[in-house]
Amino acid sequence: MVFSSLIFLYAFFPLSLLGCVLCRTKAQRNTVLLVSSLIFYAWGEPVYVLLLMFMALTSWFCALRVVAGQTQRARKAWTALACVIDVALIGFFKYAGLFCSIFGPVPPFIARIALPIGISFYTFQLMTYVVDVFRGDAPAQRRYRDVLLYAALFHQCIAGPIVRYKAIGAELFGEAPAKNEWAPGVSRFCVGLAKKALLANPCGALADALIVPNPAADGVAAAAEALKSQSVLGLWLGVAAYALQIYLDFSAYSDMAIGMGKMLGLHYPENFDYPYTAHSVKEFWRRWHMTLGAFFRDYVYIPLGGNRRGALRWVGNMLVVWALTGLWHGASWNFLLWGLWYFVFLLIERAFLGRALEKLPVVRNLYLLLVVLLGWVLFRYSDLQCVAAVVRGMFGANGNALSSFTALTMAKNKVFLLLVSAVACTPLVKRLGAKLDGRGSRAWTAVRYGAIPAALLLLSTAALVGDSYNPFIYFQF
């Protein structure tokens, strides 16, 4: 089940929300949320809900042992055990095939292992829970069901944002009454839905038409040949559409998760801050998937020593962080290279390029967009033949034409979609809304929290009717 499915929009979520509203206490509300979350997860993967429950069980038990530990050594041992179990399980289900491929053909039983949806997200959340209990930043929950709810909460279990227990524990389990924000929550949810249904999905369809999707192993040669024959305009247009799709798709999920949380008085952290408006790779990653960046900073980079132990150690720490960032996104070598792609540019910016870019306001944004667009090509294709075909073709090095009738026609037909999508990647609409909010107009308040969400919901529903398959991109991670 996905947020952008009609069954979720008009059956599952309204019933879950109604059940929560009818509850008189947080304990009753949390029971409804837990049952709803397990049903939501089991809807697509009834077997792997047991994996989620087991991982939550081990984290709950280890956290209790951490608190009960008589010595620092014992506390560290239980924390390490929880992390080892989590890493081992995600390693088996997500990376066993990649590991086996180093030594030869992947065994059939390994190749048949399905990736549990959302495992990268709830694994990190459970690890932060135990580590924060060890650090004294979060209390250990006495009830297993509470840890399970934290990990399985359907608003953000599947594709984030990555929510730390210490950030949401009080709102979930504290005695203070929930501060439901209905109007902002509904508005944020509908904006996210519209970004997905009206912008991300059409941009994805355009990208697939111009730059073929990631091919299966037996179709790589044909895909590479098709990409080589695509015009320069077609490739740039396709890559740009794919870049728009990724941002709009992933940020839409976060918007919807944050909106649903606000309706129940739960405040999830922001995950995006208009990253395509950044002026450097360093700034881009401060704005893109911010909860993932915060995880690697606080639980990997800083514990490794950060930048406190000399330049050489800093480079090594950065290498580890960006290799893990790439691999977190997928069990394929192209994702590792994608992470290292940004590692290289971060080193270059620190060495000299960052200072030079500060003096070139327009050039620095164009530089960032070029780096990101080429990075998305590496992100899209698991086979480097396709990556090379696209990158070479973008600069006419395949002997391909500068333009074609198909590419020109698509560019003309989709110009409005691309313009609106590009604007949605900037803070222009947000700033306009903030100015209108500042005037305190009741009419604008009614439009913002009434007419606009209703219109977006109606248009999104119309777009989703008949669209039977529109998963969020980050579901695969």
Q: What residue type is 347 in one-letter code?
A: L
**Alpha helices for 107-143 (secondary structure H):** 108-111, 119-135
263, 285: one domain: yes
Q: What's residue 215's pLDDT?
A: 82
151, 219: one domain: no
237, 319: one domain: yes
239, 257: one domain: yes
Q: What residue type is 29 in one-letter code?
A: R
Q: Which residues of the chain have pLDDT under 50?
A: 469
Single out the residue in 178, 198, 227 at which a domain terminates: 178
Residue 284 domain-assigned (yes or no) = yes
User: Domain containing 215: what range?
Assistant: 184-468
Single out the residue in 144, 178, 212 at which a domain terminates: 178
Can you give the pTM of this predicted structure? 0.92
Q: What's residue 70's pLDDT?
A: 86
3-class secondary structure, 301: helix
355, 254: one domain: yes
b/e per residue, 84-108, with b = 16+ CB within 10 A? ebbeebbeebbbbbbeeeeeeebee
80, 105: one domain: yes
Residue 475 domain-assigned (yes or no) = no
Residue 165 domain-assigned (yes or no) = yes
Q: What's residue 195's pLDDT?
A: 95
Residue 428 domain-assigned (yes or no) = yes
Asked about 329 being catalytic, the answer comes back as yes
Q: What is the DSSP string of 342-363?
A: HHHHHHHIIIIIHHHHTT-HHH
Residue 476 domain-assigned (yes or no) = no
Rounded to whole angstroms, the Cα distance separating 274 from 262 reads 21
From the list 155, 279, 289, 329, the catalytic residue is 329
397, 448: one domain: yes
Q: How many domains does the chain have?
A: 2
